[in-house]
Structure 1
Amino acid sequence: MSHLPESPMPRPPEAMALFNTALTSELLVNACWAKAKEGDTGLAWPAAYLILPLTLHPATRSSLPRDRRITLARWAGRNHDLLAGMEYRVANMALPTKRAIRHGLRTKRLGLEGTNLIALEKPKSPTPKWPDELRGSVKAARFCGRWFNVIDTHMAFELLGIGG
């Protein structure tokens, strides 16, 4: 007889596949790598909780700008409809984000510098052979990582309507 507590609710197979820890961890690795590549620090750990909701939600991912000059503030101002569900998505993605961080640390794909997450090596770049959704998610994660070079994490949460 096991003394481990049972999971309060089993995860549906679709959620398990979509929120696979290897995939979600690699999205965080890509965000951390992109942030450090253009900045001087890793990704603040609270910002990691924004990466998956921004990159895995299809409508949000497809609305992310292609132009690096468009700021998070400008994007948020143009996408009120997507932000209406952002706080809910961030809350729903908290457990998959925690699992992704732990997986990345355990497999030594992610590391810590103080309270910042860092990519310990350059991730593979997306290729045309990758499925569209995977390629799009990785590109979105890198884009979001760059955003965190020009905005404080608390301001990002504020702009996205989280915790306000």
Structure 2
Amino acid sequence: MSQPPEPLVSPVARAPEAMALFNTVLTTELLVNACWAKAQNGTTGLAWPAAYLILPLTLHPQTRDSLPRDRRITLARWAVRNHDLLADMEFRVANMALPTKRAIRHGLRSKRLGLDGTNLVALARPKNATSKWPTELSDSVKAARFCGQWFNAVETHLAFELLGIGG
């Protein structure tokens, strides 16, 4: 009796690049940086729904590279200027939901993140990027901090709407 051919790739196998990119420690640190930056310029932590926007904004290379350097540029202004990048944002947010959940859980377990009501807060100052860090890591951390600051100036529900999510 012949056996069915073995699959070429296991259905649960992930490419090593994807595994490295969505490493729980890395994604947790991006959330910690966003929460810390938000707290430096605001009075509350990062609303937990907003945490689901951090990874899609900071890990997608074209989106991360398009983030403004000028802190006076609002999320609304950036969204209008970069509507082409937002075409698949809803898909990216949905695709990053599981890594975001894992990052939040890891952050809470490892005491890198805490809860203040329904807001996520960084429990310790994250490390600043150094010249020894790979450029992509350094850029992602800077982007996470920038996005955290953006959430001081915009309500979470409006951020989702501006980014074309759930509409």
TM range (shorter): over 0.9
Provide the C-alpha distance between the structure 1 equivalents of 2:49 and 2:134, rounded to a whole number of angstroms. Answer: 29
- 1:38 aligns with 41
Partner of 1:21: 24
Alpha-carbon distance in structure 2 between the residues aligned to 1:59 and 1:162: 18
Aligned residue pair count: 158
Q: Residue 51 of structure 1: which of 46, 51, 54 is its match?
A: 54
Tell me the TM-score normalised to structure 1 length.
0.94
Partner of 1:92: 95
Counterpart-to-counterpart distance in 1, 2:14 and 2:98? 11
Determine the C-alpha separation between the residues in 2 that align with 1:154 and 1:10: 35
How far is 1:15 from its partner? 1.2
Determine whether 1:118 maps to 2:121.
yes
- The equivalent residue for 1:82 is 85
Structure 2 equivalent of residue 4 of structure 1 = none
Q: % of aligned pairs identical?
A: 82
Q: Give the alignment's Cα RMSD to 1 decimal.
A: 1.2
Query: In the aligned structure 2, how far is the partner of 1:53 from the partner of 1:29?
Result: 15
Structure (1 or 2) with the larger CA radius of gyration: 2
Whole-angstrom distance in 2 between the partners of 1:84 and 1:93: 16
Which one of 121, 127, 130 corresponds to residue 127 of structure 1?
130
Tell me the alpha carbon deviations over residues 88-123 of structure 1, each in whole angstroms, 9 at most, x when there is no partner: 000000000000000100100000000000000000
Q: Is there any run of 5+ residues in structure 1 with no aligned partner, and where?
A: 1-7
In structure 2, the residue corresponding to 1:89 is in which secondary structure? Answer: helix
Superposed CA deviations along residues 134-156 of structure 1, whole A, max 9, x for unmatched, are 00000000000000000000000
Could you say which residue in structure 1 is the equivalent of 2:112? 109
Please list every run of 5 or more consecutive structure 2 residues that lacks an aligned counterpart in the other structure: 1-10
TM-score computed with the length of structure 2 as normaliser: 0.92
Distance in 2 (CA, whole Å) between partners of 1:102 and 1:13 is: 22
Tell me which residue corresponds to 1:154: 157
Instruction: Using the TM superposition, give the Cα deviation of residue 63 of structure 1 relative to its aligned residue in structure 2, in angstroms.
Output: 0.1
